[in-house]
Amino acid sequence: MKTNILRWWLPAIMSISSMLLAMKADKPAYRIYTAKGHESNYSDLLDDARKADVVFFGEMHDNPICHWLEYELACDLYKETGKNLILGAEMFETDNQLILDEYLSGKIVEKNFEAEAKLWPNYKTDYKPLITLAHDSAIEFVATNIPRRYASLVNKLGFEGLESLNAEAKRLMAPLPIVYDANLPGYKKMIENMGEAGQAHSTGNLPKAQAIKDATMAWRILSHLSKGKVFLHFNGSYHSENYEGILWYLRQANPGLKIVTISSSEQTDMRNLDKKSEGVADYILVTPESMTKTR
């Protein structure tokens, strides 16, 4: 009798053991966690995103999984919302909006767009798929970031440096004067991360340069957002982590917005979310530290 039972259960035991070994040997490319550190999934993220007014995908600029999932999320949101989807990104500056619109509307060809626009070094691998989606689907893509020359001006002279610009230049940034809270943890941390030597030579303008970027991105998002639309925005995680940065400026203007945030991080062990990443966003995308880079 015992022999018959063993003969019956042995294949099942071996099968379960094989499955457990396979699971142990698996190397997932990413995992998604909630703000509280509970494991979640892409389906839940997508469901929340489609019900939001604004979705921030905080990326690591050189992480291929971030860029792949950005594209997948954009495609899936388009399937569910159609022309009510708006895309926007830190990687495109406001003075490139004209040429971007000309390409998306078919007025100029791709070759001219790529030759004349200010594109990041990893554009073709990481951001071109998003632009192509907008082009092929005839959906809006908003260049949200302030031209870098003006952020550099703030880093050198503070917000006062912007006042001397002409009206045409000022149309490329959030309306002046810029509201600024130097006590926001994210901005304070920028100075702290410079170390003692850096702090000794700092004028305090570095976080102001970050703030003019955040304020301009918030202003651009608000100026293109309308009822029933979903604005999916791509930016470095530091611009939206801890619900600061761009979100702080959005909340100043419209505290009633429904916002979903995604942050990205790398971990050696992805089985649990690192404590330092808890609470930084609604969803935290975790990838292996050994993940290859895109530039």
DSSP string, 3-47: HHHHHHHHHHHHHHHHHHHHHHH---S-EEEETTS-B--HHHHHH
Tell me the C-alpha distance between 286 and 277, whole Å. 10
pLDDT of 2 strictly over 70: no
State residue 191's pLDDT score.
87
Contact 242, 191 (CB under 8 A): no
164-189 b/e (C-beta count within 10 Å ≥ 16 → b) = eeeeeeeebbbeeebebeeebebbee
Share of the chain above pLDDT 70, in %: 89
Tell me which H or E stretch contains 286.
strand 283-288
CA 270 distance to own-chain centroid:
20
Residue 141 carries which DSSP code?
A: E
16 conformational bin, left if phi > 0, alpha if psi -120 to 50, beta if neither: alpha
* Mean of pLDDT over the chain: 92
State residue 164's pLDDT score.
93
State residue 213's pLDDT score.
98
Lowest mean pLDDT segment, chosen from 13-17, 68-72, 94-98, 174-178: 13-17
Write the pLDDT tens digit of every residue in 106-128. 999 999 999 999 999 999 999 99
Please, how many CA atoms are within 13 Å of residue 93, restricted to the half-sphere of its CB? 17
40 conformational bin, left if phi > 0, alpha if psi -120 to 50, beta if neither: beta
State residue 27's pLDDT score.
87
Tell me the C-alpha distance between 35 and 20, whole Å. 29
CA torsion angle 11 17 19 20 (round to 10) = 160
State residue 25's pLDDT score.
65
Neighbours of 77 (CB within 10 A): 22
pLDDT of 52 strictly over 80: yes
pLDDT of 179 strictly over 70: yes
Which SS3 state, helix, strand or coil, does residue 273 take?
A: coil
State residue 14's pLDDT score.
59
State residue 193's pLDDT score.
84
What is the rounded average pLDDT of the residues 3-29?
A: 59
Lowest mean pLDDT segment, chosen from 19-33, 138-152, 259-273: 19-33
